[in-house]
Structure 1
Amino acid sequence: MLQDRYGRRFYYLRLSVTDICNFRCNYCLPDGYQCEKSLSRENPLSVTEAGTVVRAFASLGTEKIRLTGGEPSLRKDLAQLIETAKSISGIRRVAITTNGYKLPGEIDSWQGAGLDQLNVSIDSLDPQQFRAITGHDKLQTILRGIDRALELNIPTKVNAVLLREHNLGTFNEFLEWIRSTPVSLRFIELMRTGDNREFFASNHVAGSDIENRLLRDGWSLVERERDAGPAKEFAHPDFAGRIGLIMPYSKDFCATCNRLRISAQGALHLCLFAEQGVDLRAAIAAGDHLALAEKIREAVCGKNASHQLQDGFTGGTRNLSMLGG
């Protein structure tokens, strides 16, 4: 079992398959991916290399793989990546996080490849506001894709970053949507990165404010699975959907950390906000998953107790597209 010096066990790997994104979200890449080209490293992990990574983590007790980006659907071989991860012994669940712009045309093939869970980013249910936040007029396309995923009985989560100046005032619209839509709607506290300091200062909303409102309105906390993400999830008998809150600035947020990250270029990131990753590309390319597993085990011993976001520390994270959040 993969365990750090604080006793935390890691059942969950977030595997980035590209750092490229085609959206221009105002809290992440407001000028688009092109402005990152001079900093970007080409040559993302191949399907074979991704398979070696997943085998290494599976041998260490990891049970859940989430394919992230950037935007993973920009990989033409995404279905093959899903199929490869799903085929590895010990992996119980394969999920992806996507902005959803290809969802209606691709979700059937992803399910056929073995997809178990879908996360889609929707920061507003108002088409004009959605376009203002993301730079794209794709809301209705994404909602059609979610409808199709639900028809296929794929458990679906919807991510919305809380933004004081952009979508906080439409919280009730989100609530009405999940009254009859069986998704888990996760509100994520805006996180400070190297590129968004001023935007963070004017838009950060404490998730605890939302939590207090939910508890007052009769929502109850749902027990968390051991390979679940960091969200505190709430249910209500009058709603088909659930609400999750991801609150990285809350007390003891890191105490239950169960996930690690591999970048699209094969670096192990012990935390989203670590100063730098541990370059494992050579070991990955060698194809020996047991030797790679030993390097991972050694690196995890150095994982810090906390991300230190509350002290303004952002590490080497310029923007969230680097590692898929």
Structure 2
Amino acid sequence: MLEDSFGRQFHYLRLSVTEACNFRCQYCLPDGYNGPSKSSFLSQSEIKTLVETFARLGTSKVRITGGEPSLRRDLPQIIETCASTRGIRKVAITTHGARLAENAERWARAGCSQVNVSIDSLDPAQFNAITGQNKLKEILAGVDKALEHGISVKINSVLLTGFSAGRLTRFLKWIKETPVSVRFIELMETGDHQRLFSQQHQSGQVLLEQIVNEGWLEIAREPYAGPAREFYHPDYAGKLGFILPYSKDFCKNCNRLRVSALGKLHLCLFSEAGIGMRGYLTDGDVEGLMCFLRQTLKNKRVSHLLEQHETGATTHFAMIGG
């Protein structure tokens, strides 16, 4: 099992397969994508080597992220590669959801068991203003399709001060009958969006305390779960979760490592820089990569430094998938 100097074990790999995205979210790529070409991103054979290596070191969950992973035509093959790797028990995808309705069945057949869909507002006008896309209706249809094909669905909703009116009410009404988990995520500062952060950052603690006072009960975390604190209520089909990166001891139970679409290891979302390891991937060198990972993990810090406004090399989230 991969373990760092603080005794944290890493069951969970977040694998970016592209930096490209065709949405223009205010907090990520408001001016659109202008990064490396698709020829720069990891190939299927490189991904196979990477996932096999992590699995041999005890990783049991792979989340495929972007950018927007559905922009890769070979995404079903990537899902199948991950799902068929011995030791990998769960394959998930983070997506904006605009292509989910047409792809849910294919992704499910390939081995995807969970999707995280970004929906920052259930108000169509707010959604359009945040993302630059008028596609909320299509995305909600995709959520229904995913559920129909046995894929569990989590909704990622970034908390933005300017779009807070009616947020909780609309989501509660929706999950009354819809079996999805809505996770409210505090906006995190990145290098490109420091001004936006100062204007739009909103603590999730108030919402968390509100739902607890209304009878929501916390659910115990699975070993390979992400950082969300999740809650259920007997009167609701869906769940609520909170990802609060500015809360005390947020990094204490860190269990995930990130690899960028360019084949760099990121020990933290807000690391100073990714660590090159593509040579191992190109050569198919599983043994060499295992040694590299064990050695490099000794350099992982105990915590990010977001509270000190140190965002590292992460200029926007499309670089590494959040």
Q: CA deviation at 1:169?
A: 3.7
Aligned 1:50-89 pairs, distance under 5 A: 50-89=47-86
* Structure 1: runs of 5 or more not aligned: none
Deviations 1:54-84 (A, max 9, x none): 0010011000000000000000000000000
Amino acid at match of 1:176: K
**Mapped contact 1:123–1:167 kept (Cα < 8 A):** no
User: Partner of 1:17 in structure 2?
Assistant: 17
* Structure 2: runs of 5 or more not aligned: none
Root mean square deviation of aligned Cα? 1.1
Equivalent of 1:163 in 156, 160, 175: 160
Question: Matched residue of 1:180: which SS?
Answer: coil
2 CA distance for matches of 1:272 and 1:23?
21
Between 1:265-274 and 1:165-174, the stretch displaced more is: 165-174
The answer to whether structure 1 residue 177 and structure 2 residue 170 are counterparts is no
1 CA distance for matches of 2:254 and 2:211?
24
Amino acid at match of 1:10: F
Amino acid at match of 1:323: I
The answer to whether structure 1 residue 299 and structure 2 residue 296 are counterparts is yes
Equivalent of 1:308 in 278, 282, 305: 305
Question: Matched residue of 1:110: which SS?
Answer: helix
2 CA distance for matches of 1:318 and 1:252?
24
Deviations 1:19-51 (A, max 9, x none): 0011000011111113xx3x7785100011001
Question: Matched residue of 1:6: which SS?
Answer: coil
User: Partner of 1:31 in structure 2?
Assistant: 31
Deviations 1:190-241 (A, max 9, x none): 0000011111111111111111111111001100000000000000111100
2 CA distance for matches of 1:250 and 1:42?
39
**Mapped contact 2:113–2:150 kept (Cα < 8 A):** no
Sort the Cα spacing of 1:10 and 1:292 in 2 relative to 1 into closer, same or farther, 3 A.
same
Question: Matched residue of 1:19: which SS?
Answer: coil
User: Partner of 1:274 in structure 2?
Assistant: 271
Deviations 1:117-155 (A, max 9, x none): 111101111111111100011111010110011111211
Question: Matched residue of 2:235: which SS?
Answer: coil
User: Partner of 1:320 in structure 2?
Assistant: 317
**Mapped contact 1:162–1:168 kept (Cα < 8 A):** no
User: Partner of 1:204 in structure 2?
Assistant: 201
**Mapped contact 2:183–2:242 kept (Cα < 8 A):** yes
| Aligned length in residues | 322
2 CA distance for matches of 1:99 and 1:70?
9
Aligned 1:100-119 pairs, distance under 5 A: 100-119=97-116
Give the percent of matched residue pairs that are identical in Structure 1 and Structure 2.
54
**Mapped contact 2:18–2:38 kept (Cα < 8 A):** no
2 CA distance for matches of 1:182 and 1:138?
21
Deviations 1:246-298 (A, max 9, x none): 00000000000000000001000000000001100111111021211111111
Equivalent of 1:127 in 104, 124, 136: 124
Question: Matched residue of 2:212: which SS?
Answer: helix
Sort the Cα spacing of 1:179 and 1:320 in 2 relative to 1 into closer, same or farther, 3 A.
same
1 CA distance for matches of 2:38 and 2:254?
28
2 CA distance for matches of 1:308 and 1:108?
41
Amino acid at match of 2:319: M
Question: Where has structure 1 moved over 6 Å in runs of 4 or more?
Answer: none
1 CA distance for matches of 2:209 and 2:307?
20
**Mapped contact 1:82–1:94 kept (Cα < 8 A):** yes
TM-score (norm: length of structure 2): 0.98
**Mapped contact 1:59–1:290 kept (Cα < 8 A):** no
2 CA distance for matches of 1:170 and 1:284?
43
User: Partner of 2:214 in structure 1?
Assistant: 217
2 CA distance for matches of 1:61 and 1:21?
31
Sort the Cα spacing of 1:201 and 1:169 in 2 relative to 1 into closer, same or farther, 3 A.
farther
Equivalent of 1:241 in 216, 238, 243: 238
**Mapped contact 1:41–1:265 kept (Cα < 8 A):** no
Q: CA deviation at 1:170?
A: 2.1
**Mapped contact 1:255–1:305 kept (Cα < 8 A):** yes
The answer to whether structure 1 residue 91 and structure 2 residue 80 are counterparts is no
2 CA distance for matches of 1:112 and 1:42?
27
Between 1:242-251 and 1:292-301, the stretch displaced more is: 292-301
2 CA distance for matches of 1:17 and 1:94?
14
